[in-house]
Structure 1
Amino acid sequence: MNSSIELLTLTDGGQPASRVAAEIAAFLHGARRSLDLALYDVRLETEAGALVLASLLAAHQRGLRVRLMYNVDHPGPIAVPPPPETRPEAIEALPVETRGIAGIPDLMHHKFCVRDGVDVWTGSMNWTEDSWTRQENVVVRVLGADRLAFAFTLAFEELWQRGAVEGTGTVEPRPVELADGITVRPWFTPGHGDALSHRVAKHIGRARKRVRIASPVLTAGPILGTLVEVVNERRCTVVGVVDDTQVDDVFHQWSRNGVSAWKIPLLHTIVERGAFSGKPSTPWAPDGIQDFMHAKVVVCDDVCFVGSFNFSRSGERNAENVVEIHDAVTADALARYVEDVKERYPPATPPDVRADADELAVVDAVRQTTETAGP
């Protein structure tokens, strides 16, 4: 990989918790001045978690400023995303600065760390044992990028000061050129949620070589609409993987919700005509295994989007982050990762649910138009 960008990719059963914990601990140990952590789900009571906890405490003992914020006040069991395992009392018992962020009605869903104001750790991985061992996840570390780190710090400060998700994510997604010439762009929601979905959709629509997608669900309207055009017109190869269990839940929710029922035939078309696999994950339960397909990546030719953001309508409203990376080497690595995960699971199988007949007639007319249109 490039010197400024490092990737860590996880698969279900592909690595021990100790190895992932060691990666986190090494990143934390490298801090010399400060650590700002925004973690949706953090639980460090296991043996591997103890290594991470020891690194946090060691940083505090070295005199570093350590701040940790986490999601609280979750409204109850939902399918996407799964509720956090975090125990606020355990976090608040730590000797570091802590801040619970009210996740009603929208979640503080970040999983990032800013080190010394120059290095950024982000991606889809929560800091829990199941996240490290039973889920597909992607971590991206961008090193020596003070302007990118500054954007993440601003997003952190918004949440830290407000104590709630509403009104945050307003940091402008300005491009940042790294030392080795790679351009990245940080995106934050909910402030730029709609714009982010449209940005991803634009790059999907421009792709002529490949589109690779890993996301638990796909529900953002701009992305669904553009993907339907791409797969119908066969503009490029489309390969993806979703969480089949969570997608089934989404289809059933849509079938009961007239506002979103128009999306049903779009996602059916994408899954059936694109090469999409679905992980048959274990349905969420309070004490159950959390083995979800949890990676959140889109690759469009040589541009990729990676972060905490499910490519969904609810993701637009959460506090999320995405790094847009313009680099062929990174895009190749993430495309291979998506292809590998896709091969691990059977074809996605959307349930047999149907939208209202009037909704279907409108979407069918749109589909026929895209099928006859040129590229």
Structure 2
Amino acid sequence: MSDRRASFPAPSPLSILLALALLALGACGDDDGPGPTGDAGPGVDASAPFDGGGGEADAATEPDAGAPADAAPDGGTDAGMDAGPPCACPTLPTTCTGPVAGPVFSPEDPAFGEQLMEVLACADESLHMALYLPGWDCIGDALADKLEADEDIVMEIVVDDDQCPTFGGTRDCDMLRGIADHPRVTIVDDDRSALMHHKYIVADGTSVWVSSANMTEDSFCEDLNNSVVIDDATIVGRFEEVFQRMFTDGSFGPVEPEGVTESAPYRLYFSPESPISSPSGWFTALTDAIAEAETSVDVMIFALTRGEISEALVAAHERGVEVRVLSSFRFGGEAAIQTLQDAGIDARVADVHHKVMILDGETVATGSANWSMNAWSNSENSLWIADADVASAFTDELDRVWATASPAE
């Protein structure tokens, strides 16, 4: 029998280069959404750079629709980067002693992982989780342990469909793969081009864990993140309301502007709001707060790509307000950062994945949203805390990192 082989023309050098380029772009995630050549969604400037890294489209290692095209998603590791040595998996306590309220910070403080584990351990009835990037099998193991230890616990989870897709009936994300088929676990996808970028967990309807961290090893072990636990009934109720809108109603917005939820010392905003071509309520609150700052504005932000923010910071600097900006090294070269430096503002970079502003040493804005183009169309939260002790804890963290951070360039 003759050996018959099909004959194909040899690929040209140009076609090889194009194929490699497409593969490289496909491997890149971004914390705020699709990249410059991707579908940014209606009302979004498709030319805006990605705003993400670490596995989150709009976060440090997550993709962000304001981040450069070669940035990785938030909470993950950029392709080709050395993820560093693994850190110990946080473990689920056998008894509930109650989570610290925080704030706590990764990766230096062991309390960061312990706080989350206590939230899981102390839940008696339900865990409602809105998680952009569920990528760390260690946390999946803790959830499996919780299901085994507590026969009454029910877990309802909302995820971004691009970060935890289903292929052949199997969830393709390390954290949820082992529990996705459990009878007391239900997972809902956002199924849209914009991101479900939240990172929060409501436990028993009585407390909420709110973080800048994705459920990834990078977010817990490498990136600079923060988390708090809130038990204020009004704030917890609002987080639960938005969760049910996503999980039960399958509605991810945009919605008509709903305003701010207030319960001293907290203020809480959600997006997306209609129209997504206009600033979300939390974004307007940021620029207004900078305009009203009297003594200082300290920033720790994964992605700052919005010119409105940099212009507000420059105006504050010019009227004598002390301004410090600590951003991710992935975004040190952005035009918004260059604007700050041109005005004489000290801007530095580190492995930041926070989304934090500290105003006059008294109020902190934190949550899930980067200050980028796609954040207006993403599902985001912005939690404000008017508490000098909380602000002091965040300032101490910034001071610690600031001392060894590099100049932005």
The alignment's TM-score, normalised by the length of structure 2, stands at 0.66
- TM superposition shift of 1:121: 0.5
C-alpha displacement of 1:239: 1.2
Please tell me whether the aligned partners of residues 49 and 128 of structure 1 are also in contact (alpha carbons under 8 angstroms). Answer: no
Q: Aligned to 1:275, which of 337, 343, 346? A: 346
Q: Which residue of 2 aligns with 1:58?
A: 149
AA partner of residue 140 (structure 1) = V
1:124-173 deviation line (CA, Å, top 9, x unaligned): 01122221101100101112x11111100111011113436333596542
Report the secondary structure of 1:72's partner residue. Answer: coil
User: CA, structure 1 residues 328+21, in 2 after alignment: closer, same or farther (shift >3 Å)?
Assistant: closer
Q: Does 1:8 align with 2:104?
A: yes
The corresponding residue for 1:189 is 271
With CA pairs under 8 Å and 6+ residues apart, which has the higher RCO, 1 or 2? 1
Give the equivalent residue in structure 2 for 1:243: 328
Contact 2:134 / 2:164 at 8 angstroms: preserved in 1?
A: no
After TM superposition, give the deviation of residue 176 of structure 1 in Å: 0.8
Aligned to 1:339: 399
- Cα drift, residue 99 of structure 1: 2.7
Q: Is the 8 A contact 1:111 1:126 kept in 2?
A: yes
How far apart are residue 324 of structure 1 and its match? 0.8
Offset at residue 86 of structure 1 (A): 5.5
1:336 Cα deviation from its structure 2 partner: 1.8
Does the CA contact (< 8 Å) of 1:135 and 1:293 recur in 2?
yes
Q: Is 1:150 matched with 2:237?
A: yes
* 1:225 Cα deviation from its structure 2 partner: 2.2
Cα separation, partners in 2 of 1:100 and 1:343, compared to 1, 3 Å: farther
Gaps in structure 2 of 5+ consecutive residues: 1-98, 166-171
Question: Is 1:204–1:300's contact at 8 Å kept on the other side of the alignment?
Answer: yes
SS in 1 for 2:294: coil
Q: Distance in 1 between matches of 2:158 and 2:164?
A: 18
Task: Name the structure 2 match of 1:369.
Answer: none
Q: Is 1:299–2:391 an aligned residue pair? A: no
1:310–1:72 CA distance, 2 compared to 1 (3 A): same
Measured on the aligned residues, the alpha-carbon RMSD in Å equals 2.8
Q: Which digits, 9 at most, give the CA deviation of each residue in 1:41-97, with x for residues without a partner? A: 113424x652354235534x2x13321111113599xxxxxxx96676545234433
Partner residue, 1:286: none
Q: Give identity over the alignment, percent.
A: 24
Q: Could you tell me how far apart the structure 2 residues matched to 1:201 and 1:344 are?
A: 28
Match of 1:39 in 2: 131
For these two proteins, the number of residue pairs brought into alignment is: 299
Residue number in structure 1 paired with 2:67: none
- Give the drift of 1:21: 3.8
Answer with 1 or 2: which has the greater Rg.
2
Quote the offset at 1:299 in angstroms. Answer: 0.6
Letter in 1 for 2:121: H
Q: Residues of 2 paired with 1:58 and 1:126: CA distance?
A: 25
Code of the residue aligned with 1:196 in structure 2: it is W
Question: What amino acid is aligned across from residue 352 of structure 2 in structure 1?
Answer: M
Q: 2:381 aligns with which of 296, 301, 321?
A: 321
Given the superposition, is the C-alpha separation of residues 92 and 51 from structure 1 closer, same or farther in structure 2, using an over 3 Å criterion?
A: closer
User: What are the residue-to-residue correspondences of 1:209-288 with 2, within 5 Å?
Assistant: 209-231=295-317, 233-248=318-333, 251=334, 264=335, 266-272=336-342, 273-279=344-350
Unaligned runs of 5+ in 1: 77-83, 178-182, 252-263, 280-291, 350-375
Q: CA deviation at 1:105?
A: 2.0
The Cα of 1:111 is off from its aligned counterpart by 0.6
Q: 2:308 corresponds to which letter in structure 1? A: P
In structure 2, what is the equivalent of residue 125 of structure 1? Answer: 213
The Cα of 1:294 is off from its aligned counterpart by 0.7
Q: Of Structure 1 and Structure 2, which has the larger fraction of its residues in helix? A: 1
For 2:118, the equivalent position in structure 1 comes to: 26
